[in-house]
Amino acid sequence: MTEEMLAHPWFGTWLAAVIAVPLALLVHRLGGLVLMRITRPAPALHSMVINCKPVARVVLPLLALLLVFQAAPSDLRFIGSVRHFNGLLLIAATTWLAVKAISGFADGVLAQHPYDVEDNLHARRVLTQTRVLARTAMSMVLVAGGAMMLMTFPGARQVGASLLASAGVIGIVAGLAAKPVFSNLIAGLQIALAQPIRIDDVLVVEGEWGRVEEITGTFVVVKIWDDRRLILPLSYFIEKPFQNWTRSSSQLLGAVFVYADYGMPLQPLRAEVERIVKSAPEWDGRFFNLQVTDATERTMQIRVLCTAGNSSLAFDLRCKVREGLIDFMQREYPQFLPRMRIESDGKPGRQDTQDMQRQPVPSPR
């Protein structure tokens, strides 16, 4: 039995494979320890090494087997199929390793820039760039890995050659069909570099107010104030106008409009606005004022401006100021609230004369 095994054509190849796989795992173990120690001062690289360790445990043995099978005699039975199958596994594992490396590096970069802080403008910029570029890079790696696996099949190469030979009409059709994909890919790169929007930006888009919740490789998810989600393609933010309330800063200037009668004195209102704003925790201490900005034949328009640190605080502050002014006017100056009235100067007018004529004449007693 032993002599038959020693005489088998595959004995030397399998013996080399049995030796090569444990050696590859040993290299993985030692190399992982060394890389973990070397990359500890660099959080991004350290995170990438941690993310790649499980996949590298598969890639290194497959690479060792590839070297063994390539060194084996070419006249071995099924050696071609074994080499092809091992090559496919190695391409798939290497693609997986590249994706994990990109993901780990991105996680390391994001860990250095937490965005759950008060002043998170720079962190959100880094978050958006990292996520969009990482997803784009991972998509390209997956496409390249799939293409390399297909090119290992002779039939796929022949199909590719025939497609290239008739690429006239097919190329036009494929280009038209792939236009949305490529436009979103290019838009994603533009968004990552120019950053018209970022994660957690406050937008007014399609008439809706919301925050950017997620940016994928093809679309943007905007979380609207009432917890609905607005899904828009990436190309939308390159081709169409929209409002970004946190483009350079999250601080906002809010406006409150109140209407009052012309008899309403303004100085008490200014004092009340000052009291309300300075007692409100939402006010950031930058600015506030009260002005009459318009006048109609019945009322005057009073505008109050006040600042807050972000859009949510600005909305709450505006509501607080509006409620406080209305309550103050109802309590102190109810006679100057907007109302429809008809006044007479003491002489009976046309309407008064008609009303007097309609009154019955008292009968004599």
Q: What is the pTM for the complete model shown?
A: 0.55
Both structure tokens of 234:
């990436």
Q: Strand (E) positions, 176-260?
A: 202-205, 208-215, 219-224, 229-233, 243-244, 252-260
Burial class (CB in 10 A: 0-12, 13-18, 19+), 295: exposed
H helical segments located in 256-334:
266-279, 311-332
Residue 21: name the closest of 77, 55, 68 by CA. Answer: 68
Q: How high is the pLDDT of residue 355?
A: 44
85, 48 contact by CB (below 8 A): no
Q: In whole angstroms, what separates CA 332 from the centre of its chain? A: 48
Higher pLDDT, 136 or 315: 315
Higher pLDDT, 172 or 14: 14
**Alpha carbon distance 42, 37 (integer Å):** 10
Both structure tokens of 72:
């084996």
What lies within 8 Å, CB to CB, of 281 at 6+ separation is none
Q: How high is the pLDDT of residue 214?
A: 87
Q: Which of the residue ranges 37-46, 68-77, 120-129, 132-141 would you say has the lowest mean pLDDT?
A: 120-129
Tell me the pLDDT band of 12, cut-offs 50, 70 and 90. Answer: confident
Q: Classify the C-alpha dihedral 300-301-307-312 as positive or negative.
A: positive
What lies within 8 Å, CB to CB, of 263 at 6+ separation is 335, 336
Q: What are phi and psi of 346, to 5 degrees?
A: 105, -20
Residue matched to tokens 């607005």: 230
Q: What is the mean pLDDT of residues 16-32?
A: 88
**pLDDT, tens digit, for every residue of 36-85?**
888 888 888 888 989 899 999 999 998 888 888 888 777 777 888 888 88
Res 148 pLDDT > 70? yes
Tell me the pLDDT band of 353, cut-offs 50, 70 and 90. Answer: very low
Q: How high is the pLDDT of residue 300?
A: 93
Res 187 pLDDT > 90? no
**Alpha carbon distance 330, 258 (integer Å):** 13
Residue matched to tokens 């059709």: 173
Q: How high is the pLDDT of residue 174?
A: 44
Kindly report the CA angle at 31 between 25 and 36, in degrees rounded to 5? 125
Res 361 pLDDT > 50? no
